[in-house]
Structure formats: C-alpha cells, structure tokens
Amino acid sequence: MASGAQFELALPAPAAAEDEPLVPARMVNEWVYCPRLAYLEWVEGQWAESGDTAEGRRTHLRVDRSPGRLPPPDAVEEAAPFVARSVELSSARLGLIAKIDVVEGEDGRLTPIEYKKGKRPHVKMGAYDPERVQLCVQALILEDNGYQVNDGFLWFAESRDRVPVAFDADLRAASLKAANELRLTAASGRPPPPLENSPKCPRCSLLPICLPDEVNWFRDGAPPRPLPPPSDTALPLYVQTPGARVGKSGEELVVACEGEGERRIALDDVSELILAGPVSLSTPAVNELVRRGRPIAWMSSGFWFLGSTGAEGPRSAQVRAAQFARIRDDRFRLEFARGLVAAKIRNSRTLLRRNWRGPEPDREAVLVRLKWLAAKAPAAPDPASLLGLEGDAAAAYFRALPSLFSEIARGLPAFAFERRNRRPPADPVNACLSLAYSLLTRQLTADLQIAGLDPWAGLYHAMRPGKPALALDLMEPYRPIIADSAVITVLNQGEIGPDDFLSTAQGCALKPHARRRFIAAFERRLDQETTHPVFGYRLSLRRLLHVQARLLARHFLGETDRYLHYEPR
C-alpha cells in the first residue's frame, strides 16, 4: 500500500456503563485459547512475565511507540491512503475495547492488522482461532464506530508473513459469543476450571498462578504431570549495615556502606529486598522494585518484621474478598485451624523422629505423646480446646528439642535450653529460634501478598495491629521443618558458637556477623529440595511456600474442597 498521511491520536472512546466493564479484544483472544487464563488475567488481575510475553512485548515496540488517530468516518472516503498505529477504540454498545496495532486506510475502507511474535502456523486458516477472533473483535469495534472494514491481516514477525483473515458470519458470531461468555463468567465471580492435561499449560506464563494439575487433583484425583512451578533463580537481598544506602543505577541495585565501597547486584537477581535497621532506600529503587513486583521488607535492627512495600499481587480484590468471606465463617475457620494444628504437631514429631540423638526411651515417649495430640486436633470442639492441644504439644516438643543437638553443642553451657521464651529471647537457642521465625514470617508475608491475600487477616491467630495473622497461620506447619531445622543445623555444625551472642538486660541476640551467617544458613534451608507429599514432584522449600500460598487462595475461592498442609513423610 502506498504511504500516506499519519494520524497522531485515537478517537475518543464511547463511554461504557459503570457496571459493565468493556471486554478487551486481547482478553477475548485469551478466552478462546484458555478461559481460565482470560479470567485470571482480566478478572483477578493476575500477571506473570515469561520469555514468551517478553518476546511479544518486543514485537509490539514499534507499533506501540506513539498512539495513532483515525480520521472521522465521514472523512475516510476523501482521505489519502494512510497508516495509523496503536489505535485505541471502544464500543459501548458491544461492550468491547481494543488497541489495534495498525490500521491501514484506502478507498474509504479500513484494514486492521495485528502483530504476532513467532512464525506463521501451518494450519488450514493460516492462523489459530484465538488470533483470528481477536482481529475480528477489532473489526467489529471499527464498524460500530461507523467505519467500513475490509478483511484484516495477522503479521507474524519471525517469519515475516502477512496472513489474511476474512470477517465472515461464522467468525463474527464466534467472536461475539466468546466476548459474552467471558463477560458472564466474570460477573459470576467463579474462575473456569483449569484445562485438563493440556499441552498449552507448560508454556503458559501463569502456570505458577493457575496450578492447573494441582487444582484438578482436588477435583478428580488425577496425578499431576511433572510440571512443578518453575523456580526463580533470583534470591533475597539483605541489607543490615547501619547507615547503608540502597540506590538504583540502570538495571542494578547499588548498595553503599561507609568505608566498604559499593556493591552492585542485578535487579533480575533480586527476588526481595530486606532492610534491617537504619538503612536508606532511594525513590528510583523503590519505584523499580514495586514495578517489578519485588517485595521490600522492613525489619528492625533486631530483625523483628515491621511490614512490607510492593508485591501487592493482582490488581484485583477477588481473592481478598473471598478470604474475608471465609473469615466470617466460624465453621470454616475451625476446620482450617484443626488441620493447621494437626499438621504442626505431626511435623514437630517428624523433626524429632528424624534427628533424635538422646536416650531411646525418651524418644518413644515424646513421639507417642505427639502422635496422640495430633490425632485429637481434628476433633477439637472449639478454638480454645485447639489452643490447649497446641500448647501441650509445644511444651512436649521444646522439652525434647535439646535431644536433637550434637554431643558437642549439648555440652556447651551457652546452648543449654530449658523452654521456649521470647520478647526478648533470654538465651542463645531462643535467640536463634526467634530470628528464624521472624525470617519465616517475612517470607510467608511476601508469598501471601503475591498470591493476592491479605497477610494481616488470619483464621486462627488473633488479628491485632502489627501482627500478620494469616502469615503466622500458614507458618505453623513450617516452624519445625524450616525454622527449627535451620537452628539445629547451625548449632550442630558449629556455624554459630557461644561467642556469637550478645546478652544484656534486654535479652540475648546474635552479633551482626553471626546474624549474617545464620541468615545464609536459613536461605540455604529454603533452597533445599523436597518432594511434595501430595503432588509428588520435586521443588525447593522456597517454591513450596509460594505454591502453598497460591493453593490457599484457590481454596478461599472455592476451587478446591480442602487445603492440604505440607507434611513430609
């Protein structure tokens, strides 16, 4: 087509009714491809970057560079041939909206063109139905705004093929039907079920959010494929040196400490930024971390978790609304708490059974006691009774904890341990336990926020200011398996010694250099792999926490009939 005039801005979009959101053409594409994907992205506001989505964004860079404008419909007949890029139009009557990559105009008719990454598929129609439907929706919007439309084209960037799409009656009907189905499903508030054993799932960027095989397992018991949510190579970055400054330079975070120079860390390598004590953070660094969905955790100098910034999860209240509805259901709360306490007691028993170093008769006595308490928890008649069972189990467990220490650690007076105490911890072992629980609380708070849940609104722990009750709920089964295990490891392997603690009238705490070593050991524990006891695939404990937070969100939404806590064998 001959080049012609360029138009700069889009026509004003017709106003839609407040109670009827306009359905984007791209979401109609997603609906035809996978209804659940469209729901998660459009209704729940879920999003995850992947190699495919990054490639698609790069493909659209040229057309998205500046928005284009179409001449009024009655002026198209007289206009010279033109090309308009990134044109946004909507139709209140159809309830649709679209950003059209390219619109070519000639002889009074318009031709929409949609850019796609990759190569042209070798199928009968030259393109798959989702892409053809998306382009047809764009044509319907153009026509409803008074324009005459020719056929459209799909442009495949890698193969540089231009595939024609004819807007026949069948395609038009299929496009409107898909848009209406998406609108009705969104209004119902119930996500469509996941695809079953679909080859589309492994490449989907929302696989770690959708958890298709895991959710289907609750419905039909089919064993999941070996498709565990991919592990993120990024790791948390801790900054705890008083007076340190964290800024941003290009694609890197820059950590500057007086007398120590600068350290640069690629933003892609940072999963979370943890700031402890008087550490400053620049506004550009905050903006970039929030944009990337990377949590910023704020902790006191003593590593008490204070709160977090960013990682707000989906831009939707769907999951939180379901969470608050569950909180108002006393029966649901009690049932959830029963499972929580039973899992915690069984995991405590597992840790003792695996790591026992004391007298055998003592071992059998405490294992029998914990087994009995775990069996009683699912039948607890009320929360008060459940708290009593949990307290009995904790007392028995912590009395037995020194039997997990090595002979050398047990022989050190500094590591004498009689009972659990806190606020502040009175001895080195309790100081390590408190730090480990604080680190685990921070980790789960971030996971819950990313999953769209409110970490401050719990079902078992009382909701009080400054207390992330849901994070504390979810943490219970992991206290022995992750936190206590990390403590036992550092003490038994001599990574932390008696001289690594500072005891004052205000309690006992790790010295800064020892705290760094403990944090490193805790992070190593999170990176250790485990076999999921329900789904059977291997994943890190860090990724396991994220999966469990996602499954809790799906349970709140009613997609699964129960929530299964992690209980290693």
Does 206 fall in a domain?
no
Q: Give the domain-ending residue among 138, 162, 182.
A: 182
Residue 3 confidence class, pLDDT cut points 50, 70, 90: very low
* 467 part of a folded domain: yes
Predicted confidence at residue 49, as pLDDT, reads: 64
pLDDT digits (tens, 9 = 90+) for 500-510: 888 887 788 88
Q: Are residues 350 and 301 in the same domain?
A: no
* pLDDT at 121 > cutoff 50: yes
Q: What is the pLDDT of residues 415-446, one digit of tens each?
A: 888 788 877 888 888 999 999 999 999 899 98
pLDDT band at 63; cut points 50, 70, 90 = low
Question: Do 323 and 305 fall into the same domain?
Answer: no
Same domain membership, residue 107 and residue 79: yes
Last residue of a domain, one of 287, 309, 331: 309
Average pLDDT over residues 162-177: 92
Q: Identify the band that residue 397 occupies on the pLDDT scale cut at 50, 70 and 90.
A: very high
Q: Which CATH number do you get for residue 176?
A: 3.90.320
225: in domain: no
CATH number for the domain spanning 303: value is 3.100.10.20
> Measured between alpha carbons, how far is residue 300 from residues 213, 435, 447, 507 in Å?
40, 11, 20, 15
Q: Are residues 462 and 502 in the same domain?
A: yes
More confident residue, 71 or 388: 388
Q: Does one domain contain both 405 and 266?
A: no
| pLDDT over 90 at 569, yes or no | no
Query: 298 — phi, psi (to 5°)?
Result: -110, 125
Q: Looking at the structure, tell me whether residues 257 and 381 fall in a common domain.
A: no
Q: The tokens 């685990």 sit on which residue? A: 440
Task: With beta carbons less than 8 A apart as the criterion, state whether 323 and 372 touch.
Answer: no
CATH number at residue 409: 1.20.120.920
- Read off the pLDDT of each residue in 549-561 and give the average, rounded to a whole number: 90
Of 182, 213, 245, the domain-final residue: 182
Q: How many domains does the chain divide into?
A: 3
Average pLDDT of 393-413? 86
Q: How confident is the model at residue 362 (pLDDT cuts 50, 70, 90)?
A: confident
Beta carbons of 112 and 103 less than 8 angstroms apart = yes
Residues 350 and 282 in one domain: no
Share of the chain above pLDDT 70, in %: 91
Query: In angstroms, how far is CA 475 from the centroid of its own chain?
Result: 17
pLDDT band at 368 (very low <50, low <70, confident <90, very high): very high
Q: Is residue 471 part of a domain?
A: yes
| Contact indicator for 344, 374 with CB cutoff of 8 Å | no
The answer to whether residues 334 and 377 touch, using CB atoms and an 8 Å cutoff, is: no
- Considering the domain architecture, whether residues 428 and 506 belong to the same structural domain is answered as yes
Q: How confident is the model at residue 9 (pLDDT cuts 50, 70, 90)?
A: very low
Query: Residue 509 corresponds to which amino acid?
Result: A
pLDDT over threshold 50, residue 1: no
| Same domain membership, residue 384 and residue 244 | no
- Domain enclosing residue 251, as ranges: 235-309
* Report for 15-29, 37-51, 64-78, 286-300: range of highest mean pLDDT: 286-300
Q: Is residue 334 part of a domain?
A: yes
Residue 475 has what pLDDT?
A: 94
Residue 313 pLDDT level (bands cut at 50, 70, 90): low
* Whether pLDDT at 282 is above 50: yes
Q: Is the pLDDT of residue 361 over 90?
A: no
Q: Using pLDDT thresholds of 50, 70 and 90, give the confidence band for residue 230.
A: low
Q: Name the band, by pLDDT with cuts 50, 70 and 90, for residue 10.
A: very low
Residue 563 covered by a domain: no
Residues 328 and 459 in one domain: yes
Does residue 329 have a pLDDT over 60?
Answer: yes
Burial 223-237 (b: 16+ CB within 10 A, else e): ebeeebbeeeeeebb
- Check whether residue 31 and residue 91 sit in a common domain: yes
Q: Is residue 552 predicted with pLDDT exceeding 50?
A: yes
The pLDDT, as a whole number, for residue 4 is 39
Task: Indicate whether 67 belongs to any domain.
Answer: yes
The residue among 173 and 421 whose pLDDT is bigger is 173
Give the DSSP H/E element, type plus range, for residue 552. Answer: helix 541-556
Question: Confidence class of residue 48 from pLDDT cuts 50, 70 and 90?
Answer: low
Tokens 């031709």 correspond to: 111
pLDDT tens for residues 99-118?
A: 998 888 888 889 999 888 77
pTM above 0.75, yes or no: yes
Calpha distance 530→478 (Å, rounded): 13
pLDDT score of 270 more than 70 = yes
Residue 224 lies in a domain: no
Count of C-beta atoms within a 10 Å radius of residue 200: 12
352 close to 370: Cβ distance less than 8 angstroms: yes
In sequence order, the β-bridge partners of residue 266 are 252
By the 8 A CB rule, do 362 and 400 touch? Answer: yes
Two structure tokens written together for 507: 């309690």
Q: Do 425 and 450 reside in the same domain of the chain? A: yes
pLDDT at 216 over 90: no
